[in-house]
Structures are given as C-alpha cells and as structure tokens.
Structure 1
Amino acid sequence: MPGAMTEVIDYQRPRILRIYNIYRVILGFFLTVLTSGALREGLLELNNPQLYETASWFYLFINVLIALLLHQGKRDVHLFVLSVLDIFLLGSIFYAAGGAGSGFGNLLLIPVAAGNILIHGRVGLLLAALASLVTIYLTFYLSLSTPGAVQSYLQVGVLGGIYFAVALFVQRLSKRLRQSESLAQQQAASLASLEKLNQLIIQRMRTGIMVVGGKQRVLLANEAAAQMLGKPIIRGMDVDDLAIGLAQRLRQWQDNPAIRTLPFHNHSGGAEITANFKPLPSDEGETVLVFLDDNTQVAQQAQQLKLASLGRLTASIAHEIRNPLGAISHAAQLLSESEQIPAQDKRLSEIIQQHSKRMNKVIETVLELSRRRPSEPQLIDLSLWLEHFAETFALSHPATDSLELEAGHNVMTRMDPNQLNQVLDNLCSNALRYSGAEGEHRSIWLKLYIHPETDLPILEVIDHGPGIPEEHLAHIFEPFYTTETSGTGLGLYISRELCESNQARLEYEPMVPRGSCMRITFAHPRRLV
C-alpha cells in the first residue's frame, strides 16, 4: 500500500507543483505592484521600503525562473529547497512590511501547506518549524526598534501554532487522499482486468451475442455471431445488410415482444439460427441485446431421441418385412432361372431382385442409424453417380415418368452411396407423387451445382406440383407426420437423418409460381471423415 500511495502522489505531483508555481508568480506580481508608493498609499505602511522593493522583485524573478525550469521537478530535495527558499523570501518581505502587524505572516501558510502536500513523510513539519522560527526571529529583531513587542510576540506565537496546525492537518488530509486515490486506482485496474476477461469470455462463447442500437445499427458483436451469420460484422453495419432474416425477426419482436421468433437460415446451406432479444437501458436510445443460438446441437439431441423410438419401431417390424421380402426375392431368382421365361420378363425379374435387395438395405440402414452406428462416407463423383441413378430410374419407372438431369462435371463430395441412394429414392418418389396421378405424364428435375459462396456441392430435386401448404411446412420433417392415409410419414424424416449423419443438410424451398424444391447441401470433399 505505501508503494501504491507513493505512485499516486508522484503521478499528481507535477500538476500540484504547476498550480503552486502559478500561485507564486501571481503573488510575486501583486507584491511588486505594491512597490509603487501611489498604489500602496493608505493600504500598507512599510518598515523598510527599499528592502521590500528589492525582495518583491527578486521574489517575482526567481519564481518565474523556477516555473520555467522546475515545473517537472519530482525529487523531494528540490521541493524542500523550493519551500525553504519561499519561506525565507516571504520572511524578508514580512520584515520589510513591518512584521506581524502587517498581516504578511499569513503568506507563509501557503509554502508550509504546499510543502506538506508535495513532500513525502513528516519532513513537512520541519517547514512549519522553520516558518515559526523565521517569524519569531524577525519579530524579535523588529522589537529592538519598535514598541508593542509584547503584542507582536503574542501574534507571532499564535501564527506559529497555526503553521503547525496547518502542517498536521494537510499531512493527515493528504494521507487520506493518497489512500483513497490508491484504492480507486486499484479498483480501476481490477475493473479493467475484469472487463478484459469478460470480453475474452464473450468472444469465446459459442452463443452469438450482438448489441443493436437505434436505426438497427450493430454496436457490438462477438466472433460466434460472425461465424453463425457467415459474414464479418463491422460496427455501425445495418442489420438488414448483415442478415435479412435477423432484421425481420427483430422488427417482429419490437412490434410484439411476447412473440416467439422462428429460426432462420442466413444463407443457403447455413446453420439454422434462433434469435432471442432483450432490451437494454441506454442513453443513446433503444438498444437491444441479441442472442444467436445454433440449433444444430439441440437438433442432434432431439434426433437421438427420435432415433431411439425409430429403432424400437424398426426392430419390431423388421422380422415381418424381411420374411415376405426374402420370399419375393427367392421367387424372382427361381423365375429368372427358368428356361421358358422371355427375355423381357427376365429383365423384370432382375429389377425385382435388385429392388428387393435395396429394400433390405434400407431396413439395415435404418436399423444401423437407430443403433447409432456411423455411416461410411466415401469420396464420390456426384456427376457420374447421378447419371447412373438416372439410368436406373428410367428402367424402374414407366415411360410417363421422366427425370431431367442438369449436372456439372467433377462435382465431388463425401457421402455413403447406399444412404444417398435411399435419400434420392425417397425424394424422387415424393416429387413424382405430388407432380400428378400415376399414369399421367410426370417429370422431375435434378440440378447439381457448386454454391458460389461456400463452394459446397448442392443437389436440388424439383417438381412442378402444387407445392406444400404453408401450414404443413413446420412438420414435414417430423417422423410419422403425413397427410395421406396410406403414408407412413418416415420418408422425409429418414432422408434428413441420413443426410445429417453424412454432414449434409436437407432443406425445403417453395418454387415460384408453383412447385417444390428439396435441396441437399453436401459436405466439402476435403472434410475429414
């Protein structure tokens, strides 16, 4: 604590010394003004006008010189010498002005007080003793030639007591001020350290945090918010330029704070983000604290619960499905071995066997997924894979169903081919079903491209049907949710689960003026398996 108090007073000493120097220069100026007989007539009766004039001009000159040369002095010895010089010069003026009766003895209070403020320790008491001795000695010297010595001694004695009282009071006050300022500096340092720690914690948080001021301008944001929104966040940026979905939900919340905002995606293939808002009191207007949460973790936990229920379901029906499926596959195999079967029927028999194996693989994949077994992603060329898929689609569907493929070359990703086949089978079957009745001309469109911003492969399954009603959009990926009496409600759910198990993302987007688009955003081919 003493070291801290010393640093505090050392920090304040130049300013105090500067004020003290200015005071001495001003005092010297007024003392020299009184050297004019016309100005001091009726105000002051000098005992020695010549000595007063010399001492006053010397006092002004030496103080101007000290103010110019010693304004940054910090050593105690310099300040002590300065205070002693001040006491002796003012003592000379005190003697020339007539002693205690002139009132000039009060001028020595300032050097005593200033010395006790600037000098460490109790050395300041020496200045009070020195000032008392000077005034007493000069009063004694004046009493040899001036009557009323008893009254002068009494005044000087009281004045000396005042010098010591001022020194003790200033020392005690200075000590308390030093302690208070030292404590304030320690608290300021602690607050600064805590502020840095809080900023570091906020920057490292996985939850995105933003502060939005008036006119929807961003005042503060952490790294997690920038990563979730996929854009660098600059102070003063408009929220509309940063994320349109976030700006819309902010306006909805401002209109009705009780409303629960829906999640949003800031860009295609981006994470699903939930925004929560809280008002902050501020003098700059309405300020809002925004919390951004990535729903991926919550969705994965919910998926695990769904997979557990799906596992119990598939385990109970797997036996009932596999027995008739095995009989169908075996019968088709025996039929294909017959010598009397035509070539066309033999091809149909092969299709039966192929799809029987695929159905069996689907059951195994769902069982493996429900048991939390990892998928087996492989590096595949989506362009070539889709060409093969389109050929198989044409063989297994009537001529009234058509599939148009638009794909670039060398579009690579990492995914389990069997699970991708199951996903596309589900999506294409749904697209055909909603494009028209069976037997009518129905067409779907597969579009494969690279996203220009994220460099991720994207596959879109597009149909030209009526689209999905808005009231069903929030539930289309839920298990067992279906609007058809013959449906199971597992197709889109399993498709999304299989995509997410391969670090891909399945989303729905309505087409304009009609139609539906199921978009798969694949993982980057260079990702770690």
Structure 2
Amino acid sequence: MVAPKSKVTFAAPARREPPPCRRHILATRTGVGVARLRYQGLDRDAPGDITRRELYFFNLYRCLEAFVYASLVFGPFASEPVRVLRPLLGQSVTVVYLGLALILLLLTERLRRHLAATIGVSLAIDIVAAAAVLLALSGYSLVPMMLLVNIGIAALLMPHRAYLFATGAAIGVATPYLYDRLNDSHEATSGLAVLAMAVAYFVTATLLRNLGGHLREAEDLAEQRGADLLNLEQINDLIIQRMRTGVLLVDRANYILRINESAWHLIGNPPPGERELGVVAPELSRRLYHWRHKGHGEESPVSLATDMPEVIPRFTRLAPNDDSNVLIFLDDTSLLSRRAEELTLSSLGRLSASIAHEIRNPLAAIRYSAQLLAESPDLSGDDTRLVEIINNHCTRANDVVENILQLSRRERSRPETIDLNAWVLSFVEDYRQSNDLGEDQLRAVTSNKRLEAVFDPQHMQQVVWNLVQNALRYGRQPGQPARVAVVARAAVDKGPALLEVIDRGPGIPPKVAAQIFEPFYTTHEYGTGLGLYLAKQMSEASQATLEYVPVAGGGACFRLTLQAAVSIGPGGAVAA
C-alpha cells in the first residue's frame, strides 16, 4: 500500500499505444491469490539470460578451438616440435569438429532448453576430437591445455557432473598416450605430462564446481528476492485496486499514467483509449492546475461525472520539488458521510438505550395505573376516553423504546436453512390469528417448486412482520380495505429466492422512496423512522438485501432477496 510521505515509483506506459482498459487499472486481479513468479525466467528447465550467455561463449570458444586444431593440422604450425603423423585422421576429425562447432553455435538458443544433455554431448565431442587430434600429432601440443577450458566451463554450468567431465577428459588425453605405448611409438608423449594434465583437469573441475555452486546459490537467492519483490508489487497493486479511494497518477502534460477502478468509476467510466485528464474530468484538471500554480487546491466536494457521488480531490507529489508526476486521491464523500452516520448512530444508540431503560419503568407504572383506572365502575364516558388515550400513547411510547433498544442491541445473526413456501404460509396464518384484520386482506402466494434460503428465522419474523404492518397501515386506497400479499418466488430459473410484501395502495413517491431506509426518517406524525432501517440492517446481517420496488398500476413492493441454501452433492460437489 502506498504509505504517506513515502517515495512511490510507477512505470509509465507508452503513450502512443494505450493498452486495453483493464491494463489501465493500477493493479492486476489474480482470482484465488498472488501467483509465485520466477525472477527473469531463471528456472532449471528453462535457463535464463545468464545461462544463455555462458552457453553461447562456450560454443564460441569451441569454434576457436576447432580453428586452432585446423591450424595445427593444415597450417604452418605443423612442424617441429609438433609433427603430423596421421594427416588423414587429423584433417578429417578437424573438419568434422569445425562443422559441429559451428552448428552448436548456431543452435545455442534451441539447445539451452536442454542444458544438461547439450553440455554432456558437446563435451563428449570435445574430448573425442582432442583425443583424435592428439593421436594424429606428434609431441605434446596445445590440445590438452585448450581442453582444460572446456572442462572448467562445463563444471561451472553443471557442478554436479564436474568430476564425470574431468574423468572423461583424463581418459581422452590418456588414450593416445596408451595407444602409442602399445604400438612402441617413439613419438609418444611423456607419461608425466599426461598425468599432470589429468590432475589439472580434476583440480579445475573441483575449483569450478565449488565456484559454480556458489554462483547457483547467488542466482537462487536473487531469484527468490526477485520473486518476493514481484509478489509484493502484486500485493500492493491489488490493495490499491481494491481501495475505495480513487487513485490517479498524472504527468506534467495532464496525461493519466495509472488509474484504479474506484477512480475510473468516480470520473464516469471514460472510454479505454481516452487518457487526457482535461477531457475525462475537466473540473479535476482545473483544480490540478490551480494546485500546481498556487500551491494549494480547493477542498470543496465536487461531482466529476453525472450521477456520480461527490469527491474531495487531494494532490501530492511523488518526490519533493518534482511536478513531473502527481498522485491524485479522490475521497468519496458518501463513504465519509456513511462512516460519520454509523458513528453517530452507534453513539446515539448507546445514549438512547440508557435513556430508554430509565423511561420503561415509569411508563410501565403509568400504563398499569391506567388499566386499573379503566376497571373502575365509577368512570364517566369522558374519563373512559381519557384512559383510552393514555393507554394508546403508552403503547406508542413503549414501541419507541423497544425500537431504540433493538437498535442498540444489534444481536448477531444466526442464519438457518428455511423452506420459504412453508414459512410464508405459517407466517400469514400466525398473523391472522394474532391480529384482527377486519375487512383487510392478507394472503400468501407460494411457488410451485421448493424454495430454500438462508436467514435468521427470528430476524425474518421481525422484518416481514414490520413490512406487513406498514402495508396494512399505509398501503390502502382512501375508504377501501387494504389488500396485502406475502409472495415467495424465485427471481429467475435457478436464481435467488425472493420474499415480497406487496400492497395495492397509492405507492411511495420517488423522493420519499430514496430515504425510507434512513434512520429516523418518517412521514407519519407518530412514526419513529426506525422500522425500515432496522429491517434493512437485520436483512444485511443474514447476507440478504431489502429494497423498495414500485408496482405498475399502483401499489408498493418491498423485496427481500435471500441468500441461496448450499448443499453438498455426490462426490463433494457444491450445489445451490
């Protein structure tokens, strides 16, 4: 994550060929996590740039070696103390060796994918060619000394086979010596020199093997550090990508170099190829201009696109006294307002709960006294009416206290799998038995297929009870009884389960509908404004959504979209 007052470095993309929209996004989605990366492609099965260069120079040296052999066999160097005893053998081997060396050099890029086999075969060719050339020449020559370099490079590239390479080279050098000894040739090389070269091969293999091991450890460490850095970069990018705050990186020419999804959404989802800040967000470009020239910017909220929330832009340099690249943060004021509202509600809930507890006791005493007074036979008609008013207002005050206490408790949801059709039928039956509906109608509408959802049964009872009460109270045409339906259905085939409370009343005006779920908002003189707010909070606690949907032809619909029940099928398959 980009920390305050820290230096942040972004790699600017090429301007002339802007990448696709998702490549504009600052971070990269990884789905299930951050993948482990290999630094610069250094892998045992696919050698990287360092191994490619080593193999290239190895093959290049082999070509030089072949040219030296050719100069010894064909050239003016074929004289004392070195004489060609078997010219046909030497010339044939040298020509074939030179051809193979050139082929290996040309095929370096392909052969590096099979590093072990390539080095083994090529070194075997080197040893055979050196042995044949030694057999063709008389006296000791440069051939064993040049083979020393081949052994060193092979041991460096393949440390675990270093001694095998040294053994092969020693056998290759000793073979001509033994051949000459068996044939009693007077041109045989000194046995001491052959032994010295064999020892030199093993010493070189040992030194280069250890050096190669250290180099591989250094490469592995660099590879590990590189992978860690790439993973850290991906994590940082993913964090920035998921930030609710918009982040843009803009250069001196007001060209957008980087942008995360939140910023892209807040400036109105511009086309992927449009990167000029003055075109996609003119007001933001104007504020950036004033900040660059005056040293401070406006702090008033502004909406950068139609139907987008207001934001407060903040500007900062990537480096002190460097205006080439500017980092812009877009703080969504709606998020800030929501957080402030949550803090206010939390504080208000605790305060209201303490007050409500103090009110309940005297309220219960007043209500109990009114009930006793109502039983007196000496009450006149007017006094009876006054006692009824006391009881009604005590009931209303008690409902307010209960809502406030419920707001402060915020009990944890305990979701269970519910058969929605059976639950709706049972709820409607219980409501009819508990309440005198009079001429009002309340009916249940169920689906012809089984519907299962996950919800806290106690919370669902409270939510639907509140919605039905509101529908019976406000969802009626003037002078007509209320007609309310509790509907259980599926959104679409194999879609989520829906529970709807529908009435045939006048509906809710759009301006009012936009605020009905806000706390303490009510249009009724006796309402508390907490019923729908608490219903929405309890729905969200069970991963469900409660929304208002206008009904065509008049009426209102409160729709509860429920979380589907998950079952484990045969073989461990998860089915919804």
Provide TM-score, normalisation by structure 1.
0.51
Give the distance between the partners of 1:43 and 1:263, measured in 2 at CA.
95
Pick the aligned partner of 1:48 from 64, 85, 101. 85
Contact 1:219–1:235 (CA under 8 A) maintained in structure 2: no
Give the distance between the partners of 1:243 and 1:55, measured in 2 at CA.
75
**Quick check: 1:190 aligned with 2:286?**
no
Contact 1:99–1:105 (CA under 8 A) maintained in structure 2: no
Pick the aligned partner of 2:198 from 160, 174, 179. 160
Note the C-alpha offset of 1:262.
2.8
Contact 1:271–1:296 (CA under 8 A) maintained in structure 2: yes
User: For each residue in 1:443-491, what CA deviation from the matched residue of structure 2 results, as whole angstroms up to 9, or x when unmatched?
Assistant: xxxxxxxxxxxxxxxxxxxxxxxxxxxxxxxxxxxxxxxxxxxxxxxxx
Partner of 1:104: 143
Give the distance between the partners of 1:236 and 1:282, measured in 2 at CA.
29
Note the C-alpha offset of 1:282.
11
Note the C-alpha offset of 1:415.
3.0
Give 1:56-71 correspondences, 5 Å limit: 56-64=94-102
**Quick check: 1:124 aligned with 2:220?**
no
The secondary structure found in structure 2 opposite 1:8 is coil
Note the C-alpha offset of 1:219.
0.9
Give 1:80-479 correspondences, 5 Å limit: 80-100=120-140, 102-119=141-158, 121=160, 123-139=161-177, 145-146=185-186, 152-232=190-270, 234=272, 237-258=275-296, 261-267=299-305, 270-281=308-319, 286-300=324-338, 414-416=510-512
User: For each residue in 1:116-172, what CA deviation from the matched residue of structure 2 results, as whole angstroms up to 9, or x when unmatched?
Assistant: 245462x331221232243345346667555896xx444433322221121112222
The structure with the largest alpha-carbon Rg is 1
Work out the number of aligned pairs and report it: 335
Query: CA, structure 1 residues 236+286, in 2 after alignment: closer, same or farther (shift >3 Å)?
Result: farther
Letter in 2 for 1:111: N
Give 1:480-491 correspondences, 5 Å limit: none
Query: CA, structure 1 residues 141+222, in 2 after alignment: closer, same or farther (shift >3 Å)?
Result: same
Give the distance between the partners of 1:108 and 1:282, measured in 2 at CA.
59
Letter in 2 for 1:254: R
The secondary structure found in structure 2 opposite 1:200 is helix
RMSD: 4.9
Where does the alignment leave 5 or more consecutive residues of structure 2 unmatched? 1-38, 353-399, 408-465, 476-507, 517-528, 534-547, 552-556, 560-576
Letter in 2 for 1:108: L
Q: Which has the higher contact order (CA 8 A, sep 6+)?
A: 2
User: For each residue in 1:89-125, what CA deviation from the matched residue of structure 2 results, as whole angstroms up to 9, or x when unmatched?
Assistant: 112223433343x22211211332243245462x331
More deviation in 211-220 or 229-238? 229-238
Letter in 1 for 2:217: Q
Give 1:14-25 correspondences, 5 Å limit: 16-25=54-63
Note the C-alpha offset of 1:236.
6.0
Partner of 2:462: none
User: For each residue in 1:296-318, what CA deviation from the matched residue of structure 2 results, as whole angstroms up to 9, or x when unmatched?
Assistant: 23335657899999x99xxxxxx
Give the distance between the partners of 1:275 and 1:45, measured in 2 at CA.
85
Contact 2:250–2:327 (CA under 8 A) maintained in structure 1: yes
Contact 2:246–2:261 (CA under 8 A) maintained in structure 1: yes
Give the distance between the partners of 1:58 and 1:17, measured in 2 at CA.
21
Contact 1:413–1:524 (CA under 8 A) maintained in structure 2: no
Give the distance between the partners of 1:182 and 1:283, measured in 2 at CA.
39
Note the C-alpha offset of 1:46.
2.0
Query: CA, structure 1 residues 6+289, in 2 after alignment: closer, same or farther (shift >3 Å)?
Result: closer
Contact 2:299–2:313 (CA under 8 A) maintained in structure 1: yes
Note the C-alpha offset of 1:188.
3.0
Give the distance between the partners of 1:166 and 1:284, measured in 2 at CA.
54
Note the C-alpha offset of 1:68.
6.7
The secondary structure found in structure 1 opposite 2:134 is helix
Q: Comparing both structures, which one devotes a greater share of its residues to helix?
A: 1
Give the distance between the partners of 1:304 and 1:140, measured in 2 at CA.
94
Query: CA, structure 1 residues 110+259, in 2 after alignment: closer, same or farther (shift >3 Å)?
Result: same
Note the C-alpha offset of 1:221.
1.0
Note the C-alpha offset of 1:42.
7.3
Give the distance between the partners of 1:303 and 1:145, measured in 2 at CA.
104
Query: CA, structure 1 residues 93+250, in 2 after alignment: closer, same or farther (shift >3 Å)?
Result: same
Contact 1:273–1:292 (CA under 8 A) maintained in structure 2: yes
Give the distance between the partners of 2:77 and 2:151, measured in 1 at CA.
27
The secondary structure found in structure 2 opposite 1:253 is helix
More deviation in 208-217 or 46-55? 46-55
Where does the alignment leave 5 or more consecutive residues of structure 1 unmatched? 313-366, 380-411, 421-497, 503-522
